Amino acid sequence: MTQEKGFIDRLLYVIAPNQALKREQARRALRAYDAASKGTRRTSSWGARGTSQNAEVYAAAQTLRDRSRELSRNNPFVKRAIQSMSNNVVGTGIRAKINSKNKRQKDKVYQDWVNWFETTDCDNDSRKNGYGIQKMVMRAVSESGDCLIIKKWDRSRSVPIKLQVLEIDYLDVNKNTLSSSGLNSDGSYDFMGVRFNKKGDRIGYWLFDKHPGDPMSFSKVNSTLIKAENVIHVFEQLRPGQQLGVPFGVSSFLRVRDMDEYQDAQVVKQKVAACYSAFVSTESDPASSSADVDEFERMEPGTINHLRPGESVTFGNPPSVENFGEFSRTILQSIAAGFGTTYENLTGDLNNVNFSSGRMGWIEHHRNIEDWQYNIMIPQLCQKVWMWFLEGYELVQNGGRPNVTATWVPPRREMIDPVKEISALGEAVRMGFMSPQDAILEQGRDPEEVLAEFAAWNEKIDSMGIVLASDPRQDIQPTGIGAGRPADTGENQDDNEDIPN
């Protein structure tokens, strides 16, 4: 809605249109964004381009990957950040909870899933189980930005499918359609190593037969088009239409590098200063006494030396490292923010943490963990591997695809204060704010599996006549006389002769 102009503005447009235009421009300038101003002292060196998401990644992805890997090899904080991501997002594994109305079918499919996914039978190299593959994929995504998983057929496996994990370097990003029309004969086109159909759907990936950086690749590597249905591409999509990922923490890479150089400079400075502990000066002619001077004198504990006439000793005062800890902490906080974690988690420094601050930081960090679990790992990897499993399972059973679905249970979140948090969890269930199933899922367990374990355990201890204080079916006295026995209900009040005074 345009604001109606006042009398003065209307008058100026008649008698002085140039002045009226300047007045309007000045008024609009007052409503502008400071960050969008150009040519000012504060923004003159601020370069920003309106490039597309893929133009940014295409130009920078390889360099960012190489630098991220170098930092993870040589910088302990980057290594710690990447390790923390895979440990927290995957941990012991993101587990499948299989659902079906047919319990017999559900149990059969679950057992076959366990025999395949929870063993090395699912790995192309027969070295990791499915949870190890999950962790390797998450590490590759956080360190390199992307990871590829290829479906291969092998009828010697319990389920005739095996998973081959490849680094994103195998993708031939230089494979682009260069015809005059920009399209292949069937209307498809290749862009950054991915083939799309007319509708813009991914239908294939151009993958090298060898890693292009492998020193054993004596011959030229060639790329082959692999159907998209046989490829899983895992990455964090930050912008709509983004085709490749970028390593986590890229916004802090320069700070990591600067801190490395700063720490090296401080260490060298202290080492050089420590080499000079004392200086001897003399008032005599240096040329006349040079033959009597040992140029490599050493100081040892308890040594008493007599000076020559005219000599004096001045002890060095090594320079101190002022504000080194405070400066390092500030830089490490920005590095932690770039990786989406906390300073304490990145460094292990818990000196300034109490229960409240530690819990608040951990909760915020856990939100990032859940984001990576539910927006990257589960939809892009876990669910697609599950569909591959059903495809292979159908071939083995020869009875059609089973009517089962899978939901995914991430690893449990470690509690800061288990006593308080478990009590709060139990109270939430008791008050009806959450279901017992949700409480069990928060601990990374399948509720039905837990109930089955309870039933089997209760049946076993009942058959052996054992009564445990931990059994919720019993009203047990927790402390004092009779601890571990059923509580006194008021019966047999006269039978006190066996109770010691």
| Secondary structure (DSSP) of 212-269 | TT-TT--SPP-EEEEEGGGEEEEE---STT--S---TTGGGHHHHHHHHHHHHHHHHH
pLDDT digits (tens, 9 = 90+) for 133-166: 999 999 999 999 999 999 999 988 889 999 999 9
Strand duo 223-227 + 202-208: pairing: antiparallel
- Residue 306 phi, psi (nearest 5): -100, 130
Give the count of alpha carbons within 13 A of 81, CB side only: 34
- Is residue 281 classed as helix, strand or coil in its secondary structure? strand
Q: What is the pLDDT of residue 178?
A: 60
What is the predicted pLDDT for the residue at 55? Answer: 87
DSSP state of 242: -
306-330 confidence digits (pLDDT tens) = 667 777 777 666 666 667 778 888 8
Ramachandran category for residue 117: left, alpha or beta (phi over 0 → left; psi -120 to 50 → alpha): alpha
CA distance 142 to 137: 9
User: In which element (H, E) is residue 204 found?
Assistant: strand 202-208
Asked if residues 340 and 252 have their Cβ atoms less than 8 Å apart, the reply is no
How crowded is residue 190: how many other Cβ atoms within 10 Å of its Cβ? 20
Taking the C-alpha atoms of residue 402 and residue 393, their distance in angstroms, rounded to an integer, is 9
As a whole number of angstroms, the distance between CA 206 and CA 234 comes to: 16
Rounded Cα distance between 158 and 121, Å, is 7
H or E segment and range at residue 141? helix 130-144
Q: How many other β-carbons are positioned within 10 Å of the β-carbon of residue 496? A: 8
pTM exceeds 0.85 for this model: no
pLDDT at site 164: 97
Q: How many residues does the chain have?
A: 501
From the number of C-beta atoms within 10 Å of its C-beta (0-12, 13-18, 19+), residue 204 rates as buried
Quote the tokens at residue 319: 């320079």
Q: Which residues contact 332 (CB under 8 A, 6 or more apart)?
A: 77, 259, 343, 346, 347
How high is the pLDDT of residue 31?
Answer: 57
Low-confidence ranges of the chain (pLDDT < 70): 1-7, 13-14, 26-32, 39, 178-182, 217-218, 273-282, 284-307, 315-322, 399, 475-501
Helix (H) or strand (E) holding 89: helix 76-89
Provide the pLDDT for residue 490: 52
Residue 398: which residues within 8 A CB-CB, separation 6 or more? Answer: none
HEC string of 355-390 equals: HHHHHHHHHHHHHHHHHHHHHHHHHHHHHHHHHHHH
Distance of alpha carbon 172 from alpha carbon 115, whole angstroms: 35
What span, in angstroms and rounded, lies between the C-alpha atoms of 44 and 53?
24
What is the number of other CB atoms lying within 10 angstroms of the CB of residue 259?
A: 19
Alpha carbon distances (Å) from 103 to 106, 244, 456: 5, 41, 17
User: What 3-state class would DSSP assign to 311?
Assistant: strand
